C-alpha cells in the first residue's frame, strides 16, 4: 500500500525559503509515476504547484515557476519542494500526491498534508 | 479568483440525489479532461472522478461525472452523511498551462 508523508518546518519567516519533503513508502519512486505538490491556503481552494517524473523531469505552475524547485531523491525514496522568497500568501497546507497511472491530470494518492505558516 | 465556477454550497437530505456544476472555458473544461475530488474536513483530497466520467477503484457507482462543452457536472445519488464534504473540479488549463481548480462546493447532507 502506497503512502505519502509530508514533513518540514511548520513556521517560516518572510523572505526565507520553505523546504518540504515527501517520503514515499510502499513503492519505489525510481520505478515510475509522476509526483506532484499542491497547496491549500486556510479556508480556500487547491492550487497546483508542480510535478516531477521519477527521472527528474519537472513541470511547474507558471504562476510559481520563478520561486519553485521540485526534486526527487531516489536513494531516500522521497520528493522535495523548495519555495524561495516566501510571503504570508504562501501560508497553506502543502500536499504531495502521486499522479494516477490511468489519467494525465488526476492524482489518486495523497499525503495527509503539512501546515506551513509564513510569519515573523 | 478561480477560472472555474462552482456553487459555494449544495444541500440535500440523506437518500436524495444532487449535482454539482463546474463552469469553465474552452481552454480548460472545453478541451481537457475533468477531475473531481472529495475533501472531508481536515483531510487530503480524494479522487472520485477522473477523465470526465471514470471512477477509480473503490469509488461507488453513486458517484458519476459528465461534461458538456465548457461545463462539467458531478452527480451523487442516494446521499449519505459520509458524503458531506467539499468537492473540487480540476481540469488542465491550456492557456494557463497548469492544473486549475474550482473554488469548491460544500455539500451538506441534512
pLDDT tens column, B48-61: 999 999 999 999 99
Residues A100-120 have a mean pLDDT of 94
Tell whether the model's pLDDT for residue A96 goes beyond 90: yes
| Averaged pLDDT of chain A | 95
A60: burial class by Cβ within 10 Å (0-12, 13-18, 19+)? Answer: buried
Tell whether the model's pLDDT for residue B17 goes beyond 80: yes
The answer, for A117 touching chain B at a CB cutoff of 8 Å, is no
Query: Could you give phi then psi for residue A108, rounded to 5 degrees?
Result: -105, -20
Which grid coordinates belong to B30?
472545453
The strand ranges marked E within chain A are 3-7, 11-12, 18-25, 34-40, 47-53, 58-60, 68-73, 78-83, 92-99, 107-110, 114-118
Q: What is the pLDDT of residues A35-84, one digit of tens each?
A: 999 999 999 999 999 999 988 899 999 999 999 999 999 899 999 999 99
Supply the pLDDT for residue A41.
Answer: 96
Tell whether the model's pLDDT for residue B1 goes beyond 80: no
Q: Do A103 and B50 touch (CB under 8 A)?
A: yes
Tell whether the model's pLDDT for residue B109 goes beyond 90: yes
What contacts A44, CB < 8 A, 6 or more positions away? none
Supply the pLDDT for residue B7.
Answer: 97
Nearest to A72 by CA among A48, A90, A55: A55
Please state, in angstroms and rounded to a whole number, the distance separating the CA atoms of residues A87 and A69.
17
Q: What is the pLDDT of residues B50-103, one digit of tens each?
A: 999 999 999 999 999 999 999 999 999 999 999 999 999 999 999 999 999 999
Residue with cell 500500500: A1
Supply the pLDDT for residue A101.
Answer: 85
State the smallest CA–CA distance between residue A87 and chain B in angstroms: 19
- Which residues does chain B have within 8 Å of residue A113's beta carbon, measured at their own beta carbons? 44
What contacts B99, CB < 8 A, 6 or more positions away? A48, A61, A105, B90, B91, B92, B93
Place A102 in a pLDDT band, splitting at 50, 70 and 90: confident
Q: Do A105 and B33 touch (CB under 8 A)?
A: yes
Amino acid at each position: 500500500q502506497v503512502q505519502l508523508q509530508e514533513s518540514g518546518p511548520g513556521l517560516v519567516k518572510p523572505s526565507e525559503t520553505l523546504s518540504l519533503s515527501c517520503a514515499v513508502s510502499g513503492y519505489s519512486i525510481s520505478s515510475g509515476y509522476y509526483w506532484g505538490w499542491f497547496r491549500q491556503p486556510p479556508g480556500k481552494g487547491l492550487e497546483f504547484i508542480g510535478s516531477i517524473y521519477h527521472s527528474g523531469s519537472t513541470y511547474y505552475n507558471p504562476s510559481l515557476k520563478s520561486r519553485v524547485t521540485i526534486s526527487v531523491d531516489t536513494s531516500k525514496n522521497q520528493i522535495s519542494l523548495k519555495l524561495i522568497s516566501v510571503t504570508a500568501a504562501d501560508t497553506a497546507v502543502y500536499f504531495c500526491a502521486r499522479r494516477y497511472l490511468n489519467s494525465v491530470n488526476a492524482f489518486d494518492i495523497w499525503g495527509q498534508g503539512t501546515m506551513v505558516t509564513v510569519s515573523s | 479568483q478561480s477560472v472555474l465556477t462552482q456553487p459555494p454550497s449544495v444541500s440535500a437530505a440523506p437518500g436524495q440525489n444532487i449535482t454539482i456544476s463546474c463552469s469553465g472555458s474552452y481552454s480548460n473544461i472545453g478541451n481537457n479532461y475533468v477531475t473531481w475530488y472529495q475533501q472531508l474536513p481536515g483531510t487530503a483530497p480524494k479522487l472520485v472522478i477522473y477523465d470526465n466520467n471514470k471512477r477509480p477503484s473503490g469509488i461507488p457507482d453513486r458517484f458519476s461525472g459528465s461534461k458538456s462543452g465548457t461545463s462539467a457536472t458531478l452527480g451523487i445519488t442516494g446521499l449519505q452523511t459520509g458524503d458531506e464534504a467539499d468537492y473540487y473540479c480540476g481540469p488542465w488549463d491550456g492557456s494557463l498551462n497548469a492544473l486549475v481548480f474550482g473554488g469548491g462546493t460544500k455539500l451538506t447532507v441534512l
